[in-house]
Amino acid sequence: MGTILVWNDAWRMAGPARGLAYEGWTLTHDRWQAPLADAIVFHLPTLAPADLPTGRRPGQRWVAWSMESEVNYPALVDPAFRACFDLEMSYRRAADVWTPYLAGEAALLAPASPKVEASPCVYIASNARDASGRHAYVGALMRHIAVDAWGECHRNRRWERDDGRATKLATLARYRFTLAFENSIARDYVTEKFFDALEAGSVPVVLGAQDIADYAPAPGSCIDVRDFDGPASLARHLDALVLDDGAYARCLAWKTDGIGAGLRAMLADVAVDPWTRLARRLGSGSGSGS
């Protein structure tokens, strides 16, 4: 039915566009096709405004694409800049094509492993970006409860071998609690930090989106730092859960009881690859074009 051009993709995030051939659309990174493309996708975090193509054929739709927080990349919500685009493809639930960081249901329901580490908490962060105050909070929390930090930030543990996400998940699985602290706080900005902890069977302690409860698999399955007066109060709560096997087990009961209706509905909404959903949206004629 047409061609989708990904204008800029320095982080190599586009695709794999499963199903696009079936939908009748092709995906390309070839800028020479810009005059003929039916839609052009622009990755806003790596797009300079001066890099927008000149000229635009009638009916061609431009798509603003981002998985990054609007706090760190305010162009996502800048009305003047956004006026250049017809559709939004992002983590925000209000987007035309919603692309959250959700893990699959089968992965989420994988059984939890025994908690074998002496420290109750684990923190894995290597990005210095910190609009949320997370690094200061972790430093303060460490004065009240043991936290093993494997990333560059607050590092006090080191892997002998790091095989990427598999190593991360295996590490999280050994701890009772994972500090799932986002680098910025914005509605719907719930990243793999949260879902990796859930998948690994470690209870996420969250500093992040105000609507985090909407993304939780069940009530009580995560702990929000906003519910506590500060790091000392949070540490007391975590210590109490460590000493109460029954209370801690209830935090993970969803692993056997199943995921709640809210998260199941979200998973259903994004069951189809996002690039295929974009193609379907374009094929339906949604998005005004210029």
How are the residues of the chain apportioned to helix, strand and coil, as percentages rounded to the nearest 5? 35, 15, 50
> Please, where are the H alpha helices in 105-230?
105-108, 134-141, 165-172, 192-200, 212-215
pLDDT of 87 strictly over 90 = yes
Residue 1, pLDDT > 70, answer yes
Amino acid at 142: M
Tell me: the pLDDT tens digits for 94-111? 999 999 999 899 999 999
Report the alpha-carbon angle 83-87-90, nearest 5. 110
pLDDT of residue 193: 97
Q: How far apart are CA 190 and CA 115, in angstroms?
A: 25
Q: Are 4 and 41 in contact (CB under 8 A)?
A: yes
Which tens digit of pLDDT belongs to each residue from 246-287?
999 999 999 999 999 999 999 999 999 899 999 999 998 766
Give the closest residue to 31 by CA, choosing from 42, 22, 20. Answer: 42
pLDDT in tens, 110-121: 999 999 999 999
Give pLDDT, residue 17.
59
CA distance readout (Å), 107 to 13, 123, 195:
21, 21, 10
Q: What is the pLDDT of residue 19?
A: 65
The architecture of the domain spanning 2-99+270-283 is 3-Layer(aba) Sandwich (3.40)
**Looking up tokens 């949320």, which residue turns up?**
132
- Looking at CATH, the fold of the domain delimited by 105-266 is given as Rossmann fold (3.40.50)
And the tokens for 167? 């190593």
User: 7-50, pLDDT tens digit by residue?
Assistant: 998 777 776 655 677 678 888 889 999 999 999 999 999 898 78
Record the pTM: 0.92
Higher pLDDT, 164 or 223: 223
pLDDT at 288 over 80: no
3-state secondary structure of 27: strand
* pLDDT per position as a tens digit, 51-82: 888 888 899 999 999 999 999 998 888 898 88
Domain boundaries, the chain: 2-99+270-283, 105-266
Return d(Cα 272, Cα 260) in angstroms, integer: 20
- Reported as a single tens digit per residue, the pLDDT across 125-181 is 998 889 999 999 999 999 999 999 998 889 899 998 889 999 999 999 999 999 999
pLDDT digits (tens, 9 = 90+) for 182-219: 999 999 999 999 999 999 999 999 999 999 999 999 99
